Chain A
Amino acid sequence: MSGIFGTLNTATKGLLAQQTALHTASHNISNANTDGFSRQRVQMQADLSYTLAGVGQLGTGVKMESVVRMVDDYVNKQIRNENSAYEQYNVKSQTLDQLEIILNEPSTTGINFNLNEMFNAWQELSKNPESLSAKTIVVEKSKALVETINHISNQIESLKAETNGQIDKNILDFNSTVEKIDALNKQIFNISVKGEVPNDLLDQRDLLLKDLSSIAQVDINYDQYGRAKINLDGKVVLDAKEYNKIGINSDGKILIGSDIITEPSGKIKGYLESIKVLVDVENQLDGFVNSMATNVNKLHNTDPHNTDNDIFADFDSAKTIKINPAIDKNNSLIVPGYTAEKGDGDRALDISKLRNKILSDGSTIPSKYNDIVTRVGISKQQSDNIVSNQEVLLNQLILKRESTSGVSIDEEVTNVLKYQKAYEANARVISVLNDMLDVLINRTGV
Chain B
Amino acid sequence: MQKLQSQLSSGKVVTRPSEDPLLVSKIMDLRNTISTNEQYNSTITDTIGWVDTQDGALQGANSTVQRIRELIIYGANGTLSEDDRNAITEEVKIKVGELADVLNTNFDGRYIFSGTKTTDKPFNAALEYQGNDKNIKREISTGVEVELAVDGEEFTTLNKGQLDEQKLSDLLKNIITALEDGDSDALSGKLLGDLDKHIDNILSFRSKIGAISNRLDAAKERNEAENLNLKNLLSQREDIDLAQKYTEANTLNSVYLASLSIGAKILQPSLLDYLR
- A344 close to B32 (CB less than 8 A): no
- B31 close to A349 (CB less than 8 A): no
- A119 close to B134 (CB less than 8 A): no
- A377 close to B143 (CB less than 8 A): no
CB-CB under 8 A for A103 and B17, given A130-B109, A341-B134, A409-B271: yes
- B139 close to A123 (CB less than 8 A): yes
> Which chain A positions have C-beta within 8 A of B91?
none
> Which chain B positions have C-beta within 8 A of A377?
16-21, 24-25
> Which chain A positions have C-beta within 8 A of B116?
337, 339, 341-344
Q: Find residues 382-404 in chain A having any chain B CB closer than 8 Å to their own CB.
A: 384
**Chain A: CB-nearest residue to B143:** A356
B245 at the interface (CB under 8 A from A): no
> Which chain A positions have C-beta within 8 A of B142?
356
CB-CB under 8 A for A355 and B18, given A106-B28, A343-B114: no
- A106 close to B27 (CB less than 8 A): yes
Q: Which of A105, A353, A367 contacts B139 (CB 8 A)?
A: A353
A112 at the interface (CB under 8 A from B): yes
**Chain A: CB-nearest residue to B117:** A341
B80 at the interface (CB under 8 A from A): no
Q: Which of B16, B25, B31, B43 contacts A123 (CB 8 A)?
A: B43
A116 at the interface (CB under 8 A from B): yes
> Which chain B positions have C-beta within 8 A of A273?
none
**Chain A: CB-nearest residue to B30:** A106
Complex CA gap A376/B108 in Å reads 47
CB-CB under 8 A for A130 and B21, given A123-B39, A343-B114, A413-B275: no
B125 at the interface (CB under 8 A from A): no
- B17 close to A100 (CB less than 8 A): yes
Q: Which of A100, A112, A380, A414 contacts B28 (CB 8 A)?
A: A112
Q: Which of B22, B47, B108, B238 contacts A374 (CB 8 A)?
A: B22
> Which chain B positions have C-beta within 8 A of A346?
137
B261 at the interface (CB under 8 A from A): no
B260 at the interface (CB under 8 A from A): no
- A380 close to B139 (CB less than 8 A): no
> Which chain A positions have C-beta within 8 A of B136?
343-345
**Chain A: CB-nearest residue to B38:** A120
Complex CA gap A375/B17 in Å reads 9
- A370 close to B29 (CB less than 8 A): yes
- B24 close to A374 (CB less than 8 A): yes
Complex CA gap A220/B49 in Å reads 81
**Chain B: CB-nearest residue to A356:** B142
B185 at the interface (CB under 8 A from A): no
B250 at the interface (CB under 8 A from A): no
B46 at the interface (CB under 8 A from A): yes
Proximity bits, B58-77, A CB within 8 Å = 1, else 0: 00000000000000000000
B5 at the interface (CB under 8 A from A): no
B231 at the interface (CB under 8 A from A): no
> Which chain B positions have C-beta within 8 A of A352?
139
- B21 close to A374 (CB less than 8 A): yes
> Which chain A positions have C-beta within 8 A of B270?
409-410
B115 at the interface (CB under 8 A from A): yes
> Which chain B positions have C-beta within 8 A of A184?
none
Complex CA gap A383/B116 in Å reads 58
- A116 close to B27 (CB less than 8 A): no
Proximity bits, A345-366, B CB within 8 Å = 1, else 0: 1100100110110000000001
Q: Find residues 80-117 in chain B having any chain A CB closer than 8 Å to their own CB.
A: 108-110, 114-117
Chain B nearest CB from A157 CB (Å) reads 20
> Which chain A positions have C-beta within 8 A of B19?
377, 381
Complex CA gap A105/B17 in Å reads 7
> Which chain B positions have C-beta within 8 A of A349?
137-139
**Chain A: CB-nearest residue to B112:** A343
A213 at the interface (CB under 8 A from B): no
CB-CB under 8 A for A130 and B118, given A112-B32, A374-B21, A374-B22: yes
- B110 close to A130 (CB less than 8 A): yes
Chain A nearest CB from B123 CB (Å) reads 16
Most A C-beta atoms less than 10 A away, residue of B22, B24, B116, B117: B116
- A130 close to B119 (CB less than 8 A): yes
- A384 close to B32 (CB less than 8 A): no
Complex CA gap A375/B14 in Å reads 16
> Which chain B positions have C-beta within 8 A of A261?
none
- A116 close to B118 (CB less than 8 A): no
Proximity bits, A218-229, B CB within 8 Å = 1, else 0: 000000000000
Q: Which of B36, B115, B132, B275 contacts A116 (CB 8 A)?
A: B36
Complex CA gap A381/B31 in Å reads 23
Q: Find residues 192-207 in chain A having any chain B CB closer than 8 Å to their own CB.
A: none
Complex CA gap A127/B275 in Å reads 89
Chain A nearest CB from B145 CB (Å) reads 8
Chain B nearest CB from A355 CB (Å) reads 7
A124 at the interface (CB under 8 A from B): yes
> Which chain A positions have C-beta within 8 A of B24?
105-106, 373-374, 377
CB-CB under 8 A for A373 and B35, given A105-B24, A130-B119: no
Complex CA gap A219/B18 in Å reads 34
- B32 close to A100 (CB less than 8 A): no
> Which chain B positions have C-beta within 8 A of A124?
39, 42
Q: Find residues 92-142 in chain A having any chain B CB closer than 8 Å to their own CB.
A: 96-97, 100, 103, 105-106, 112-113, 116-117, 119-120, 123-124, 126-130
> Which chain B positions have C-beta within 8 A of A337?
116
CB-CB under 8 A for A106 and B31, given A127-B43, A355-B36, A414-B271: yes
CB-CB under 8 A for A341 and B115, given A112-B32, A366-B32: yes
Q: CB within 8 Å of B: which residues of A?
A: 96-97, 100, 103, 105-106, 112-113, 116-117, 119-120, 123-124, 126-130, 337, 339, 341-346, 349, 352-353, 355-356, 366-367, 370-371, 373-378, 380-381, 384, 409-410, 413-414, 417
Extra contacts besides A126-B139, A377-B21 (14): CB < 8 Å: A96-B18, A106-B17, A106-B24, A116-B35, A116-B36, A124-B39, A130-B109, A342-B116, A344-B116, A345-B137, A377-B17, A377-B19, A377-B20, A414-B271
What are 9 A-B pairs with beta-carbon distances under 8 A?
A100-B16, A106-B28, A113-B35, A116-B31, A116-B32, A120-B35, A123-B139, A129-B118, A366-B32
Q: CB within 8 Å of A: which residues of B?
A: 14, 16-22, 24-25, 27-29, 31-32, 35-36, 39, 42-43, 46-47, 108-110, 114-119, 132, 134, 136-139, 142-143, 150, 238, 270-272, 275
